[in-house]
Amino acid sequence: MLLLLGHAHRARAQALVVGHLLLRLALLEQGQAIADLYSPEVYAAHQDLLTARRSVDKLAGGSELARSSAESALAAARERLSLLGVPESEIEAMAGESKPRKSVAIRTGDGGTVMERLVTQGQYVETGAVLYRIADLTRLWVQLD
């Protein structure tokens, strides 16, 4: 029996798969993009982030209460994106953009090999749906009977 110690990459929000799909047995490096998704939730959260950032910038010299409220809205927008699975480095990049992204790249945490691709371009996925199964084939456990 061969046991593959791998993990499933799941959708963190409802989304449409719009591109960047990998083939089975593709080798992946840490942080590599494995799919591009359009999620209305991520789009709205990015829009909120940009609106809050503009408010913070606009109120830089304003009253303490207004500035504090704008900074709270900015922190809430960042937290919402984080809960949707957007990495901090990506949130930083998104905060500097002028308009919300139409799609977001899903990246691997670790490197490995694509063992199974469970999505196709144009497919709508629900929260929690498995997109890929990825395994690290540098370490295998083999049980011989």
Per-residue pLDDT tens over the stretch 2-36: 445 567 888 999 999 998 778 788 888 888 888 89
Q: Give the closest residue to 112 by CA, choosing from 35, 27, 34.
A: 27
Per-residue pLDDT at 1 exceeds 50: no
Span 124-143, mean pLDDT?
Answer: 84
Would you say 16 and 40 are in contact if contact means Cβ atoms under 8 Å apart? Answer: no
CB 122 within 8 A of CB 21: no
Looking at per-residue pLDDT, the higher value among 6 and 118 belongs to 118
pTM of the full structure: 0.81
Question: How confident is the model at residue 16, as a pLDDT?
Answer: 95
* C-beta of residue 36 within 8 angstroms of C-beta of residue 104: yes
Domains in the chain (CATH in brackets) are 2-142 (2.40.50.100)
